[in-house]
Amino acid sequence: MKVLVVNCGSSSVKYTLFEMDSEKKIAWGIVECIGLPEAYYKRQTSGSDEQKDSVKVTNHMEAAELIIKNLMAPETGSIKNIDEISVIGHRIVHGGDKFSKSVLVTEEVKDGLKECFSIAPLHTPGHYEGILAVEKMLSGIPSVLVFDTAFHQTIPDYAYMYALPYDLYEKDHIRKYGFHGTSHNYVSQRAAAMLGKPIEQTKIITCHLGNGSSLAAVEYGKVIDTSMGFTPLQGVVMGSRCGDIDPAVIPYLINMNKDYADPEALNVLMNKKSGLLGISGLSGDMRTIVKAVAAGNKKAKLAFEMLCYSVKKYISAYFGILNGADALVFTAGIGENSPSVREQICKNLSAVGIEMDVDKNNEPSSSERFVSTESSKVKIMIIPTNEELMIARESKRVLTNG
Ligand code: AMP
């Protein structure tokens, strides 16, 4: 059985084709910068090297056409016929309170997704365009939507509510939703397997640290809290997002500078110009920050320390609400690849039973591994995330079980 996983952004279409018997990737790639002169198509198959070409694609439909043609290319393609694909799994960032679990795409589901446009205007219209495009190219093949917010649906009301007037929740659906759910789900399952316990007997803190970052407290396989909120802006310091700030800063800024009366200007400030980038003035990319710290750059050091400190605070809070934890997991670009970030976060956490083996932490590896000391009560793990595989599994499950 083959499953095609598709992740459509506002100007990109990313895909991975899986053979589900072996759960191996057969072909994967991305069409980026749709509608722009610099558009390109980068792709690879399990048996070939990466290829990258400039392309002319003006919309998602043309991108989908390019991808399907490439997947079916006579000599080099991975499939001969579209019927070889049993199901298409779409990654959807925000399901609002409309979608609490993965669903098979119907006309009603598509209408429901349209209602989520206002809650996630940066992502959902692109997803919607992508669904229509893939549907047209692969007509007759069922599609499943897998939501980044779904794994967080078990968070209790006292944790997901904001203490704003209740009306805003009832009428405008303003509450914490949480993101990166597919990643938190995948790594918590792997962590339980590494602990050798059923997930129902584990308490796990997962740290997805990438350009966007979030943590989740996973109790017996269910999320009880997560750091991102109504949007991915809440929580820890990120590449270019500010994370938690005093909300009173916003009316203050509007009063001080009329440019900020435009909500878009505030969105850009807090989502695109803050975080590591805003503090260092250099970059939102952790590799650049780490190099600058080593070269003695003071603002880069401050940005690095702020990010690590904010993660450490959430870990400590989650240790408290879980009443202890079996494992602390690091995943995503920074979590998997930056020993110095992991070390800084885990420093002086022995009071909550978190003790890092610094040598193990520094060993280069891209495999799942433990980096805690033998005596550490909480096992520290690095687990490469695999959101695409999780979406493929979920799509197969929905297709098979409904
Ligand atoms: P992601 O969003 O998961 O792709 O993660 C992107 C982030 O991971 C960027 O901030 C990268 O700088 C960071 N990253 C990737 N590799 C490394 C590395 N070797 N050391 C530090 N940060 C890294």
Which CATH number belongs to the domain containing residue 137 in this structure? 3.30.420.40
**CA angle (385 as vertex; 380, 389 as ends), nearest 5:** 140
Shared-domain flag, residues 111 and 14? yes
**Burial environment of residue 343 by CB neighbours within 10 A (0 to 12, 13 to 18, 19 or more):** middle
Domain residues for the domain of 242 are 197-387
Q: Which of 117, 147, 177 is the last residue of a domain?
A: 147
Domain limit, last residue, from 123, 147, 171: 147
Is there a catalytic annotation at residue 148?
A: yes
Q: How far apart are CA 31 and CA 58, in angstroms?
A: 11
Residues 292 and 370 in one domain: yes
Dihedral sign computed on CA atoms, order 147, 149, 96, 62: negative
Residues 6+ away with beta carbon under 8 Å from 200: 220, 221
| Same domain as 273, residue 124 | no
For residue 128, give the nearest of 175, 158, 94, 97 by alpha carbon.
94
Same-domain status, 231 and 348? yes
71 and 138 part of one domain: yes
> Which ligand 1 atom sits nearest the alpha carbon of residue 341?
21
Specify if 157 maps to a domain: no
Helices (H), 138-233: 157-160, 166-172, 181-195
Residue 322 is assigned to a structural domain of this protein: yes
Angle between helices 298-322 and 286-294 (to 10 degrees): 120
What stretch of H or E contains 361? helix 358-362
What's the CA gap between 260 and 245, in Å, rounded?
A: 16
Cα of 107 from ligand 1 centre, angstroms? 38
Is 266 within the bounds of a domain? Answer: yes
Ligand 1 within 6 A of CB of 239? yes
Instruction: State the CB neighbour count (10 A cutoff) for residue 30.
Output: 19
φ/ψ bin of 334: left (φ > 0), alpha (ψ from -120 to 50), beta (otherwise): alpha
Report how far residue 272's alpha carbon sits from residue 278's, in angstroms, rounded to the nearest whole number: 8
**Atom number in ligand 1 closest to CA 212:** 2
Q: Within this chain, do residues 215 and 341 fall inside the same structural domain, yes or no?
A: yes
Residue 318 lies in a domain: yes
Domain identity same for 140 and 266: no
Greatest alpha-carbon pair distance for the chain in Å reads 63
**Is the whole-model pTM more than 0.75?**
yes
* Ramachandran class of 102: left when φ > 0, alpha when ψ lies in -120 to 50, beta otherwise: beta
Q: What is the Cα–Cα distance from 169 to 257, expressed in whole angstroms?
A: 30
Per-residue pLDDT of 199-242, as tens digits, reads 999 999 999 999 999 999 999 999 999 999 999 999 999 999 99
Which of 30, 338, 341, 365 is the pocket-test mutation for ligand 1 (most atoms within 8 Å of CB)?
338
Domain total of the chain: 2
253, 369: one domain: yes
Weakly modelled stretches of the chain, pLDDT under 50: none
The residue to mutate among 180, 240, 287, 307, having the most atoms of ligand 1 within 8 angstroms of its beta carbon, is 287
pLDDT at 47: 86
Residue 346 sits in the same domain as residue 234: yes
pLDDT of residue 119: 82
Please tell me the distance between residue 338's alpha carbon and the centre of ligand 1 in angstroms: 7
Q: What are phi and psi of 115, to 5 degrees?
A: -65, -15
Residue 143 gets which letter from DSSP?
E
Assigned token pair, 279: 């503090």
Cβ of 221 closer than 6 Å to ligand 1, yes or no, is no
217 and 100 share one domain: no
If DSSP codes are grouped into helix, strand and coil, which group holds residue 307? helix
Which residue has a Cα nearest atom 9 of ligand 1?
Answer: 285
Beta bridge partners of 328: 205, 380
**What is the Cα–Cα distance from 332 to 211, expressed in whole angstroms?**
9
- Look up residue 189 and give its amino acid: Q
Classify residue 16: in a domain, yes or no: yes
pLDDT for 123 equals: 85
Residue 118 shares a structural domain with residue 221: no
- The single residue of 111, 148, 246, 326 carrying the catalytic annotation is 148
Per the domain annotation, does 401 fall within a domain?
Answer: no
Q: Are residues 133 and 241 in the same domain?
A: no
Helix (H, G, I), strand (E, B) or coil at 65: helix
Which of 112, 147, 182 is where one domain is finished? 147
Residue nearest to atom 23 of ligand 1 (CA): 334
In this predicted structure, what is the pLDDT of residue 75?
84
**Is 189 within the bounds of a domain?**
no
Q: 384 CB contacts (<8 Å, ≥6 apart)?
A: 331, 336, 366, 367, 368
What span, in angstroms and rounded, lies between the C-alpha atoms of 349 and 347? Answer: 6
Q: Is residue 22 part of a domain?
A: yes
